[in-house]
Structure 1
């Protein structure tokens, strides 16, 4: 394979990679680019996960791209619909032809002499390797390992005579009709799987060590449908999007400021869903709201499955697996034909790529993130990393816009190299994932870059603030180095406050 050169090289053709490519085609139309994708299809998460009921856990009016309205009233879309939306977006913006499928990136090295990235990729089908060079490298790989999810080593699991199926590798031909199923976990995957499996299974038990905060959400937005009937699609989309951003932000902030109040509210909602007959021990977490992600229950389907007796919840610790199921610490035994360990993701950055700069490894845990879009000390490199407290794609859009602004400014000024350099020892202990206290975050602490304690090094997880910073504040801020020198913006380059607020709520 001959060496190929592009202005921009994007790693990953999922929601983030396609979003970045569309912004490039819209805002930097003169730049050549390619997308390297390991799988044989675009879609990322929405191509990989095929378990029953797979859907978004964010509303589609904020999960959709800001430049392409999500139409219809469906709030929580199924995986196939989301993949179709991403694919149609790629086709409409003519970016699908830029994707190189079946290529696993093995190495990425920045050359200060050549002022470019040299990327080595392997064609997985043949083992053939090739080299790509690019002026700018953008990682759009998400934050988890696509090869396998996280699964603890359960005592005695080899003794179990039934089937063990991880959601990340769900067999298309799995027959679970009439079977007894135990789903281990209480996160978004388990909350989705349990009611869907219960439609055909004999019985489904959700086995959790500790409960999760749950919020029922209708699958259809009647107000959005009404607006679409009387307004142009783009305006109806912006209004619905603005409302949902505001609601999500309010719930998150109120949970952080008044956790006791919000705890009572969330638990009260569950009591009403279960007609006041619930054993609230199964629904009362030992942490405050939004210390971990809030799980959405589509149309209250989990509560319906529990009320009809098709599903049940066990809150306990596993003693060991047995031939016929799981024995709990309490002594209770759960019989199972199929066990599903919905125990979470294994986090990795850049799809497992270990980047180097002039041959020296970039150790992510020792680096601090700049505006949540660049890694300190990595020249001409961007990182698209979405939100964890609201829709991932809200951050994808504004991060992609920022990187396009940055590249356009470099062209205008004649700069060839940009790098964020922390000269004030701003590194803090929080990772790029912020204050989330989930197990998968704790397990990955040694793999994730840090955020700083102040200024552009601190990741806010605040959409309104990030719109102001990434869409309107000057690129040349005295922190970024261009061709080895720091520069400051000219007066008047920044916008005011009302414009960013309007832009955050109603789009660019």
Structure 2
């Protein structure tokens, strides 16, 4: 391709946002309302808004966080469901894009492949591939003073999919939830869902209405808790207060409750575990509790929420079952387990997890030198050591993603206004060599452990720590000093 064929933005952008999902649209809204003088664009690799909530199409796709904290503080959640369907969340994101005007600043089907920071020019040079209707790719170039990565933490191109012995012998269909066929008919079929995480506990009760039977096959159990589909307090407040006031009160109520139960779980794990298992036992009925009794402490991995206990209800009624065992091999008619039992299936769903990546697999360089994310340290969970003018959105593991995403977007706007006030063009955090490295996430989930060589590190002291506390982050991020001695300006 010749130089004349390249597509260029004629004037450097103030901010380039990568991703038009919940985080990216939230970042655009923050810029529009707090930095209205900034010129920005959003590059989105897909053909629609929504990110996760546009990508996943499997039955029952929904949030595993309450929507009063998964929604933004400025955009009340008016739907009656506290645990919302994916389509409703996607519509919510689209409404924010319309309200903020972000919809006019999105360039769809642009996959960002590289970004290089130039200290000489004080800007990012970004290369994206535009995919046309015929599938042809054309290279486009963008320049921006600030880069805002809102592309999430997992690969859109592939999920985590371990190979199982003798898979080729199975005569039925094998499906990964991330690539669910639109025309799949599982009416009257025997379905086995491999996995025990949020996707598995969502799929199983969503398929029982049509399937002959659904079995959740798990290697080890997860903590599964029932949460109400509707928030009674929220609905009561909405009857007596303006919607925004009711939303704010409900949001703070849920923030405090989530943090309270998390602290109890971490400080008194045995008592918390006993209570959770007791609640499960009362709902699931006469089922061997080994299928719901994990061998790890609560919140060593994320808890799975089931709205109104739908999974427990289907297991109790016999429409679904849970099997805890390992896979010996696939067979023509299903799966042979290590115990010798064979699970017959027409469809096998491999709900085996996500493949974590860094910044949507964008190759990042600083002055031509490649940057390895696992060699960088995270500053307040949203910037990387020695990487100028870049913000990375990464949400909580023990609470709603959006809580941290909103704090991050607001901080980015504070930083931009501070730089304008003092006539700075570059902001970069420099790591003190005495700060000791620690894992980015203190989590034992498989997707986190597999990503140890992908994720950055955190430090043993502030501001290099990645807090899993919205209250602590709100104080340090929203009200902490911008010029704190770690952030350096030019």
Partner of 1:214: 224
Write the mapping of 1:11-160 to structure 2, written as runs, cut at 5 A. Answer: 11-125=18-132, 126-160=136-170
Partner of 1:236: 246
SS in 2 for 1:181: strand
Shift in Å, 1:427 = 4.1
SS in 2 for 1:398: helix
Change (3 A) 1:118 1:427: farther
SS in 1 for 2:210: coil
Partner of 1:467: 474
Question: d(CA) in 1 for partners of 2:337 and 2:436?
Answer: 43
Structure 1, unaligned runs of 5 or more: 484-508
SS in 2 for 1:29: coil
1:318 to 327, 332, 335: 327
What's the CA shift string for 1:52-94, capped at 9, x where partnerless?
0000000000000111111133110000000000000110111
What TM-score comes out, normalization by structure 2 length?
0.97
* Count of residues in correspondence between the two structures: 480
Partner of 1:333: 342
Question: d(CA) in 2 for partners of 1:318 and 1:450?
Answer: 34
2:297 to 270, 288, 297: 288
What's the CA shift string for 1:118-160, capped at 9, x where partnerless?
0000112231101000000010010000011101010000111
State whether structure 2 residue 368 is matched by structure 1 residue 359: yes
2:186 to 153, 165, 176: 176
RMSD (CA atoms): 0.8
State whether structure 2 residue 250 is matched by structure 1 residue 250: no
Question: d(CA) in 2 for partners of 1:29 and 1:216?
Answer: 43
Partner of 1:300: 309
Q: Residues 327 and 335 of structure 2 are in contact (CA less than 8 Å); yes or no, is this contact kept in structure 1?
A: yes
1:404 to 401, 406, 413: 413
Q: Residues 367 and 427 of structure 1 are in contact (CA less than 8 Å); yes or no, is this contact kept in structure 2?
A: no
What's the CA shift string for 1:199-236, capped at 9, x where partnerless?
11001000000000011011111221111111000110
What TM-score comes out, normalization by structure 1 length?
0.94
Q: Residues 382 and 408 of structure 2 are in contact (CA less than 8 Å); yes or no, is this contact kept in structure 1?
A: yes
Q: Residues 7 and 139 of structure 2 are in contact (CA less than 8 Å); yes or no, is this contact kept in structure 1?
A: no
State whether structure 2 residue 394 is matched by structure 1 residue 389: no
Question: d(CA) in 2 for partners of 1:229 and 1:427?
Answer: 51
Partner of 2:278: 268
Write the mapping of 1:422-461 to structure 2, written as runs, cut at 5 A. Answer: 422-431=431-440, 434-461=441-468
Change (3 A) 1:172 1:271: same
